[in-house]
Amino acid sequence: MNKFQPTFKSVKTHEVPDWYHDAKLGIFIHWGLFSVPAFAPTGKGENLKILEKEGWKAYYAHNPYAEWYINTMKIPGSPTQKYHIETYGEDFSYEDFAPLFNEASTKWNPEEWAKLFKKVGAKYVVLVSKHMDGFLLWRSKHPHPKKENYHSNRDIVGELTEAVKARDMKMGLYYCSGLDFTFNDIIIQDALDEFTNTPNTKDYIDLMESHWRELINLYKPSIIWNDVGYPRDANSAELFAYFYNKISDGVVNDRWMQVSKFLSKFANTKIGRKIICWYVKRLFLTEGMVTQNPPHCDFSTQEYSTYSNIMEQKWEANRGIGTSFGYNKAEKAEDHFSVEELIRFFVDIVSKNGNLLLNLGPKADGTIPDIQLNRVLGLGKWLETNGQAIFRTRPWIRAEGITTEGIGVRFSQTADSLFVFLLDTSNESTITIKSLKLNSDTKISWLGYDESINWNQNGENLTIYIPKNLKESPVYTLKITPKPALNQ
């Protein structure tokens, strides 16, 4: 008998498995037809400035996500449309990228990817199996009813799944249910367009549900990662139950919202469009891209942002190393996270009960750009020394602290030890952490430095002596055993 029934009451009893709490680091892969043109407007944070000053139409016309190429190329006067016409000509359709991608992807080696992900310390991988362009990265038994051979020639999903699982990492699959331009050929130019144009026809729902079940049955993913929403007349609780009954320790994300008939009707009124677009704009600018009240999820998703406090519910930050998920050859070095920024961002997320799903956007032939390689290898190198303070840990009673020198502090814990992350170091011989009181028998060590170190308790503050030979690092980690009392 199946443990989970196709109701939200039943699937909400599913508990987040320990492996997902322990994992902390996943790799996101956006690879597909959009990797051939590989273009989007650039500028770190410019898209939000454009949204604030010029509104939604300008925001979508300057969308920095290269994987949105199919939409942005159709917006009159957009930089992407200009690029497309100048590079490929007015008569070159988006679908014409399919044979170019299939030819380029013959050079791809899934083993090299899996070796890299393992080397940098990732515990799971999430691959985009279908984005909003409708192109599949596996040879489905349920092909597109309107487009012949609209899929990759290689079983990219299967090949990568095998390589990832062989190295004892979990595999997850992304599928965009909320948008498919091959079923709803529109131009999205504001937030309302994006969330109220999910195809809701029987033929789309049947195909989408068949794809989800096929992905679960064939590849047995540990994560199903949906995007943009779910058709109103589809039964997501039924899919969740099907997944959990097949993969007992599987997890699902939060982007399964279904727009009601009432909201769709209200959105089509002049005042409704104005109110909703204003509200979503405010959310984007203040909280980031956050799903509001999903019907069910094991973890919530924060896109290019984090939280200021420890979150009770498990969550996952997802972002590219640059400003795009799909490879964007127009991005410059300054559009990317530095190694230091990446590590500090990661530590902050872990301290607040989050995982980081870090995106890599390969070129059409599967090559991962050098600037992305540099960043993930830098993170992996740091984890070689500091990983015990990251993996299999839990948040402490508080996430953030500060030193008397103004250096940011973050925390994590295991059953026996407290880990203290210093987001910089002092040029002095000591550093003092505010409001951290230890027992007299406590031992403190720097990770990567063999000997215990001297420390003094100055009232409520903890002063630590810095070794002269401490190696430079983006984040320094202290291991404190035993943990301080819980009345901090």
Q: Which of 154, 148, 53, 155 is nearest to 103 (CA)?
A: 154
State pLDDT tens for residues 307-344.
999 999 999 999 999 999 999 999 999 999 999 999 99
Interval 337-385: pLDDT, tens: 999 999 999 999 999 999 999 999 999 999 999 999 999 999 999 999 9
CB 184 within 8 A of CB 271: no
488 vs 484: CA distance, rounded Å: 8
Residues 6 or more apart in contact with residue 141 via CB below 8 angstroms: 214
Which among 196, 76, 175, 170 is positioned nearest to 131, based on CA atoms? 175
Q: Read off the pLDDT of each residue in 57-65 and give the average, rounded to a whole number.
A: 94
pLDDT confidence band for 78 (50 / 70 / 90): very high
Pairing of strands 418-422, 476-481: antiparallel
Q: Is the pLDDT higher at 261 or at 24?
A: 24
pLDDT of residue 470: 84
Work out the percent of the chain whose per-residue pLDDT is above 90.
81
* pLDDT bracket for residue 284 (50, 70, 90): confident
Mean pLDDT throughout 141-159?
96
pLDDT digits (tens, 9 = 90+) for 453-485: 899 999 999 999 998 888 889 999 999 999 997
pLDDT at 44: 65
Return the higher-pLDDT residue of 471 and 34. 34
Q: Strand, coil or helix: what is 296?
A: coil
Give the number of other CB atoms < 10 A from CB of residue 405: 15
pLDDT at 211 over 80: yes
pLDDT tens figures, 428-447:
889 999 999 999 889 999 99
pTM: 0.96
- Given a contact cutoff of 8 angstroms between Cβ atoms, the answer to whether 434 and 419 are in contact is no
What is the CA 86 to chain-centroid distance, rounded?
A: 33
Domains of the chain by start residue, with CATH: 8-389 (3.20.20.80), 400-481 (2.60.40.1180)
Give the residue-averaged pLDDT of 226-246. 97
Bond from prior residue into 64 cis (ω within 30 degrees of 0): no
